[in-house]
Amino acid sequence: MSSVSTAPAPRKRRGGARGGEAVAGWLFTLPAILIIGVFLIAPIALALWVSFTDWNGRNSPLFNDSVDVVGLENYAAITTDDSLTRELFGRSIRNTVYFVLFVVPLQTALALFLAVQVNRRLLKGKGFFRTAFYFPSVTSSIAITGVFLFLFAATGVVNRVLGALSVDGPNWFADPRGIFHILFRSTAAPPGLDSPGFLGVTPWEWMAGPSVAMVVIITMVIFTTSGTFMLLFLAGLQNIGAEVGEAAVMDGAGPIRTFFSVTLPMLRPTLFTVLTLGLIGTWQVFDQIYLTRGTPAAPTLSSPAYLAFNQAFENNEPGIAAAIAFVLFLIIIAMTLIQRLVLGERDESGMGKRRKGRDRKAPLLADGAVRLEAGPQSTTGGGLT
Amino acid sequence: MKERVSGGLIVGYVILVILALVYIYPFVIAVSGSFKTDAEANGDPMSLIPQTFTYAAYERLFTGDLPLWAANSAFITIVVTVFRVFFDSLAGYALSRLKFRGRGFVFAVFIAVLAVPSVVLMIPRFLVIKELGLYDTYGGMIIPLLATAAGVFIMKQFFDSIPVSIEEAARIDGAGVFRTFWSVTLPMASPALITLTILSFQGSWNEFGHFVISRQSPELHTLTTGVGSLVSGALGSGTQFPLKLAAAVLMTIPVAIVFFIFQKRIMSTTEGAEKG
């Protein structure tokens, strides 16, 4: 991201006013620098320190004789120690891996589909459809979670609809069973898969898939974020313009072929942005998990972000909470790097085009991040809160 | 050829209409459920028209703590939005227009900060707020939200796209830096200002995580944390759905109004993508 071009348009400068301009420059940026410095950069430094101490949350972690430096102990507690904390952390990672694996591809595909549909030139009522699909993106995650708890109650709307189709709906929020386990009718761990494995979680549990309860959270998040990403794709489609696709259709390519071999490759910068924001956002899932912490299947929903909160506020283990926050940060960085490698910035078409693509991406990233921040997935982009 | 196109269009319509219904239905059912009795919301959640129409849920909310939560939310949202838009445009203007030593570095730091995920920051920020003695105060809830790197970035991008010639004329006429910024450049940036205002309003109205870690007193509940405590309480028992739905409906109304007024601008997709 630091590769963004910062050079403003060159302009003529008159002498004299320069000294005043320098003072004004610092005065103008001072409020933002102070707030971002004190509440964004200082917290990172303080949390890093706390993550290396055994501070119990009482008094101050600084200049406090009863606080000892314990090195990497807090990190060991969640990764290598044979402890309950590690098991909780392992489970939160397992839950979130499946959450990300399901949400990111599904929301991206759905958003792309919606964008292509509402971008059709001949479509009547474009405005209505765009509004309908985007509205969930401006509502609060709290309101949406409240509504989904109602929809997915044991005898709620969803199960009535399923009942009408003679399907016996599960008791969604009370069902901790993994959907892969259900699919393969596996009710107990077979021997060999039942001993604690990676991060203290058994291989059988690692392979469980998202729990039935998590499926509801997955559905809810896709419902609320697809509209935002639809708008990003729509911007990308409008940048391409209709002519390109029409030219391909004239050349005899069908609409589906045109989409996959012409439109999609040209949407690549947008796709990259959407996947990046999706990955960053989903790994941080918190609101929905916090709100459902009292449900019977809550252990199959917990995420690292929720566990960090839980350790700091309910377990008086701010050191462990800070360590979890940093591990989560590392995971997010690793994920975006891997995604960058896989999807690649492999623009073979020369520097000129590459630069253009990049210049367009940074504003799009900021735009998308602000939008997500404003909506129910209040989990993206640090500078935004 | 023509037939195939229109056939595809009809299939597209059908799919779109079904999807639109799926997207709208939860909101409709929430509104109708909020006017039902507890028993009816449980026994007959599907029906759109309540058999016994009751305001009981709303009455309970309005005579309870909800007005206090709403007042807190409104107060915090207004303060945060006003200052955020002001601070972000000040900094964005300086980074776009004013030459000063260290400008490149400041901008680089803002960009780097953009990459720090906000949820990762929740616990670290709680530590700092507590250290500064701001925990469980309006100050701790409001001050950290007053400026955002993304907002600075958006404003800088926009100022970059406005020609400098007009403000140079103002400067020649002897207007100071702030005067020029305030009465010449800022009015020209009104599209970006409006966008930033709307997004800041929605962002702070819907903010949840920060208010979970920066306060604990019930008197400081915002709508998000207050309704959140309603929503997460007594789950699974299937009781009091109308109350939860009514609270969800009420807290959605302000953002819905802003959304429908500024719909065009909020959904204008070229805003962020074309600049630069």
What residue spans define the domains of chain B?
2-58, 65-232
Contact criterion met (CB < 8 Å) for A40 and B98: no
Residue A54 parent element (H or E): none
* Mean predicted confidence (pLDDT) in A226-246: 84
Rounded to the nearest integer, the mean pLDDT of chain A is 83
Nearest one of B118, B105, B104, B190 to B155, comparing CA atoms:
B190
| pLDDT beyond 60 at A352 | no
- Amino acid at residue number B244: K
pLDDT of residue B6: 65
- Which residue of A4, A40, A62, A272 to mutate against B (max B Cβ within 10 Å)? A40
Contact criterion met (CB < 8 Å) for B263 and A9: no
Nearest one of A253, A263, A257, A272 to A120, comparing CA atoms:
A263
Q: Residue window 279-298, chain A: list those with CB within 8 Å of chain B.
A: 280, 283-284, 286-287, 290-296
pLDDT tier for residue A61 given thresholds of 50, 70 and 90? confident
Is the CB of residue A220 less than 8 Å from the CB of residue A148? yes
Under CATH, to which class is A94-315+332-384 assigned? mainly alpha
Number of residue pairs across A and B with CB atoms under 8 Å? 416
pLDDT of residue A366: 65
- Which residue of B42, B77, B119 to mutate against A (max A Cβ within 10 Å)? B119
pLDDT of residue B220: 96
Give CA–CA dist B127/A178, Å, rounded: 36
Q: Report the first-to-last Cα separation within chain B, whole angstroms.
A: 41
Q: Please tell me which residue of chain B has the smallest CA distance to A312.
A: B123
Nearest one of B242, B249, B118 to A280, comparing CA atoms:
B118
- Interchain CB contact of A155 with B (< 8 Å): yes
| pLDDT beyond 50 at A353 | no
* Mean predicted confidence (pLDDT) in A129-135: 92
ipTM of the complex: 0.89
Contact criterion met (CB < 8 Å) for A35 and B110: no
Q: Residue window 162-221, chain A: list those with CB within 8 Å of chain B.
A: 173-174
Cβ contacts of A35 within 8 Å, gap of 6 or more: B87, B143, B144, B146, B147
| pLDDT beyond 60 at B275 | no
CA distances from residue B12 to A116, A123, A124, B194 in whole angstroms, order as listed: 10, 9, 11, 34
H-helix segments, A80-125: 84-118
* Mean predicted confidence (pLDDT) in A227-237: 91
Max avg pLDDT among A126-135, A366-375, B265-274:
A126-135
Q: How large is the greatest C-alpha to C-alpha distance in chain B, in angstroms?
A: 74
B47 burial (CB, 10 Å; 0-12 / 13-18 / 19+) is: middle
Name the more confident of B223 and A259.
B223
Digit-coded pLDDT (tens) for A293-328? 988 899 999 999 999 999 999 998 999 999 999 999
* Mean predicted confidence (pLDDT) in B178-194: 91
Domain ranges of chain A: 94-315+332-384
A51-55, A63-67, B100-104, range with the lowest pLDDT: A63-67
pLDDT of residue A365: 65
CATH number of B65-232: 1.10.3720.10
Q: Which residue has the tokens 């069902």?
A: A175
Give CA–CA dist A222/A372, Å, rounded: 12
- Amino acid at residue number B108: A
Q: How is residue B40 written in tokens?
A: 């009816």
| pLDDT beyond 70 at A348 | no
* Mean predicted confidence (pLDDT) in A120-129: 83
Of the candidates B12, B119, B276, the beta carbon closest to that of A359 is on B276
Of the candidates A50, A236, A329, the beta carbon closest to that of B117 is on A329
pTM, entire model: 0.87
Is the CB of residue A218 less than 8 Å from the CB of residue A209? no
Name the more confident of A222 and A365.
A222
Question: What is the distance in angstroms between the Cα of B190 and the nearest Cα belonging to chain A?
Answer: 17
Q: Please tell me which residue of chain B has the smallest CA distance to A359.
A: B276
